[in-house]
Structure 1
Amino acid sequence: MIVPDVTDSFFSKIVEGVEHYTTPLGYMLVLCNSHHELEKEVQLLRQLADRSVDGVLLATPNVLPDEYGANSDFFQSMPLGLIDRGVNQRESGRLIIKEYEGAYRAVSYLLKKGHTHIGLIKEDTSYYQLEERYNGYRHALKDAGVVFKHENVAAASLTVEGGYHAAQQLLKQKKITAIFCSNDAMAMGCYRAIYERKYKIPEDISVIGFDGLSFSSFMTPPLTTVKQTVFDIGFTAAKFIIDAIEFPERRIPNKIFETKLSFS
């Protein structure tokens, strides 16, 4: 299995779901770190194929070159499962997460609470492009009659540090009363930036994250977050790849994962 960052809490939970399915079936998981780099992913794919592994799960933010795409000889010669938010076009084996709906629901909740100056901390261009979360934010504002403002959006890496620096940028605007973060790690950094300004959560500023990872319930106060079933995504991806290995004649289905707003 190839992941962009083995230290990332999101991918750790994905790997946990994969192992939970594969280990009882006698499969051994070999974990590789691509550091988000397409060149490294291609290198690892070649190396794993040379070692005659049964199949590969690839979690990637990248569009694969044609020679490794869904219609390539490589794809046909070795079972390859993708966890990629659909950036690589294919008709089957897609894991579809309702990210737009989750983001729209979160921002609509803040709007119903009376917030009209809502900041967004989103990913920069160096990582996964979470466009559906950004679209959900914008459309929720539009449907509520609230004008979208570019200055209310800050971009950074999808990390605690990234969230911290992006929140510092947003908090320079005194009107901001709520912040929607593109993942829970960013929300953790956002919390620190808010507390350094001597603000209280949620009395002064409300914060909502995205992912529903376990650490969010141990934040102070517990983080309200859009929960996605990260473990189940890994578990399902593992089922798809094992089915492709053991029953190559079968068509692998697509799977849709719901999201929900979770109040810890």
Structure 2
Amino acid sequence: MVSAGTVSRVLNHSDNVDEALRERVRKAADQLGYRLPPRRNSAADVRSIGFLLSNAYLRNREDLMTPFWARILHGAEEEAARHAVALHYRTIGPDRAEVRRNLRSAGLDAVMLVGSATEDVLEAVLALDVPTALVDFTSQHHALPAVLSDGLDGGQVAVEHLLARGHRRIAFVGGPMSDPEAGIRSVPALQHRYLGYRIALAAAGVRLDPALVAACDLQPEGVTEATEALLERTDFTAMFCANDQTAVAAMRVLGRRGVRVPQDVSVIGFDDDLAAHSIPALTTMSVPKEAMGRLGVRRLLHAPDGPDEQPYTITLPVELVARDSVADRTEDSHAPRH
């Protein structure tokens, strides 16, 4: 038997509880479906933060770092340094047991979970019982502080920009998804951009053509396959891509097929991490990546103390950056089927 006082001390993260007994109470709580509240550290208690990068749709890649995540990491490092807090970067995979083993010994006081994590990974992170903030995604099952960019509005603005230049046959290249409605839900940032695409078309009275939606895993090989399939099955005069890496890879495919950007097909990306260096320079939606990293750290250092203070999500605006990859639609504009 375990006394009510002991259970209370475990639930409140008191230190004067034997570890074996603490684990027994945790297991019992799990079986009853009760989640222990995370340990509430004050800013003075947080001396180390884990920057944990996860990607729900890239299960077989050990290195997930891209220019997009690197800029978020840079912002987090700057903010952590201002407060003399150590920031530890780790890539974590989809295996819940492995995540728990690796993190238990890390000695982290708080965690930034960045990217797109499965519920299993999120559960493993929350088992650390330390303050946790999400960056670039949210959880449907746990109320946690989060920092996002406004992909929904950004998707609308991007497509409205193409519509304003006369385009109506606008493809969406992104994913991952087994069909336009299914897998995209696993990555909230991509879902929001896709929904923005759909909303902009609907508001302009343009019917959504499923043939214009190309699924891929956002890696170069997947983008190549998706773009080639798109060229095979339908005509279009513009492409809205889920991120800049996708847009650059898609433009390479178009170039190999003799399709000119922007004379034949206009292309717009999202993120603004590679856009200025592409040929032609890519029109895109600029995401405030360093600010996302800084705010993620601030959310952890200034976590709400009272039980009535609920976690909330900060959504940062994105901005259209017009460069050279978008042009007015003309009678000659189109990507012909091959």
TM > 0.5: yes
- Partner Cα separation in structure 2 for residue 84 and residue 24 of structure 1: 23
In structure 1, what residue type is equivalent to 2:272?
G
Residue 2, structure 1, aligned to residue 62, structure 2:
no
Structure-2 separation of matches of 1:19 and 1:113: 40
Matched, 1:48 2:75: no
Once the two structures are superposed, residues 116-169 of structure 1 have per-residue CA deviations (whole angstroms, 9 ceiling, x without a partner) of 111110111476242111111112112212121111111101233332322222
Name the stretch that deviates more: 86-95 or 180-189: 86-95
| Aligned-partner Cα distance in 2 for 1:157–1:17 | 26
Structure 2: runs of 5+ lacking an equivalent = 1-50, 55-62, 178-182, 324-338
Give yes or no for contact 1:164–1:191 (8 Å, CA) kept in 2.
Answer: no
Q: Provide the C-alpha distance between the structure 1 equivalents of 2:100 and 2:313, rounded to a whole number of angstroms.
A: 23
1:222 to 256, 261, 281: 281
Structure 1 position 23, deviation (Å): 2.0
- The one-letter code of the counterpart of 2:213 is V
> Quick one: distance in 1 between partners of 2:257 and 2:120?
46
Amino acid at match of 2:76: V
Quote the offset at 1:47 in angstroms.
3.5
TM-score by length of 1: 0.85
Q: Residue 29 of structure 1 aligns to a residue in which SS?
A: strand
How far apart, in 2, do the equivalents of 1:236 and 1:101 lie?
20
Larger radius of gyration: 2
1:183 corresponds to: 243
The answer to whether the 8 A contact 2:53-2:115 is kept is: yes
Letter in structure 1 aligned against 2:131: P
CA distance 1:89–1:195, shift in 2 (3 Å): same
1:45 CA displacement: 4.7
- 1:27 aligns with 85
Aligned residue number for residue 96 of structure 1:
148
Name the amino acid aligned to 2:315: I
Alignment of 1:101-250 (within 5 A): 101-125=153-177, 128-129=187-188, 130-173=190-233, 175-213=235-273, 215-244=274-303, 248=305
Q: Tell me, yes or no, if the aligned pair for 1:160 and 1:187 is still in contact at 8 Å.
A: no
| Cα distance change on mapping 1:89 and 1:96 into 2, 3 Å | farther
Which residue matches 2:131?
79
Residue matched to 2:44: none
Aligned pair in 2 of structure 1 residues 84, 228: CA closer, same or farther (>3 Å)? Answer: closer
What SS is found at the alignment partner of 1:186?
helix
* Contiguous gaps of at least 5 residues in structure 1: none
| Structure 1 letter corresponding to 2:74 | E
Letter in 1 for 2:209: K
Counterparts of 2:191 and 2:246, CA distance in 1:
16
2: CA distance between counterparts of 1:199 and 1:94?
41
Task: Tell me which of the two structures has the higher relative contact order, counting C-alpha pairs closer than 8 angstroms and 6 or more residues apart.
Answer: 1
Q: CA, structure 1 residues 62+174, in 2 after alignment: closer, same or farther (shift >3 Å)? A: closer
Residues 55 and 49 of structure 1: CA distance in aligned 2, closer, same or farther (over 3 Å): farther
Relative to structure 1, the CA distance from residue 134 to residue 216 in structure 2 (aligned partners, 3 Å threshold; closer, same or farther) is: same
Q: d(CA) in 2 for partners of 1:57 and 1:43? A: 18
Identical pairs, percent:
26
Do 1:2 and 1:57's aligned partners in 2 also have CA atoms closer than 8 Å?
A: yes
In the alignment, residue 62 of structure 1 is paired with which amino acid?
A
How many residues are aligned here? Answer: 255
> Which AA in structure 1 matches 2:113?
L
What is the TM-score normalised by the length of structure 2? 0.68
Contact 2:114–2:137 under 8 Å retained in 1? no
Cα deviation for residue 193 of structure 1 reads 0.6
- Aligned equivalents of 2:241 and 2:165: distance in 1? 17
Q: Which SS does the other structure have where 1:210 is aligned?
A: coil
Q: Distance in 2 between matches of 1:192 and 1:96?
A: 30
Q: Which residue of 1 aligns with 2:326?
A: none
Q: Take 2:313 and 2:205, find their aligned partners in 1: how far apart are those partners?
A: 36
Aligned residue in 1 for 2:71: 13
Cα distance change, pair 67–208 in 1 and its aligned pair in 2 (3 A) = closer
SS in 2 for 1:226: strand
Change (3 A) 1:18 1:94: same
Match of 2:34 in 1: none
Task: Choose 196-205 or 167-176, whichever is displaced more.
Answer: 167-176
Deviations 1:163-195 (A, max 9, x none): 232222222246211010001110010110111
Change in CA separation of 1:51 and 1:134 when aligned onto 2, cut-off 3 Å: closer
